Amino acid sequence: MSPKTTESGGRTGQRERLLTPARTTVLLLAVLALVFIFENTRDTRIRLLIPEVTMPLWMALLATAIIGALCGAYFMRRRRRP
């Protein structure tokens, strides 16, 4: 008799590892990015097409990181769907 499997092909008796090497690497990179972002606190001028705004550099870096993460999540999700 063969062991039962889930729809994704994994065995039901096995636990999925919480901290895989890939997840650990992504977590480490995210922490390093946050440290870099919050260490840069001086104000900077940023041109957004036509208007020029002055804001803390950490805020601009954080906004860019969030936009990048959302774009990456969108394209990864879209790639998985047939």
Tens digits of residue pLDDT in 59-78? 999 999 999 999 988 988 87
The contacts of residue 48 (CB under 8 Å, 6+ apart) are: none
Overall number of domains in the chain: 1
**pLDDT given for residue 13 in this prediction:** 46
Is residue 3 scored above 60 in pLDDT?
Answer: no
Helix or strand or coil: residue 79? helix
User: Is 70 exceeded by the pLDDT of residue 12?
Assistant: no
Whether residue 49 is contained in a domain is answered as yes
* Per-residue confidence (pLDDT) for residue 68, from 0 to 100: 92
In the Cβ-directed half-sphere of 22, how many Cα atoms lie within 13 Å? 1
pLDDT digit string, tens, across residues 23-54: 899 899 999 999 998 899 899 999 988 889 99
Distance, CA of 48 to CA of 72 (rounded, Å)? 22
Integer Cα distance of 47 and 49 in angstroms: 6
Q: In this structure, is residue 2 part of a structural domain?
A: no
Domain carrying residue 54: 21-80
| The pTM of the whole model exceeds 0.75 | no
CA-to-CA distance for 65 and 9, rounded, in angstroms? 34
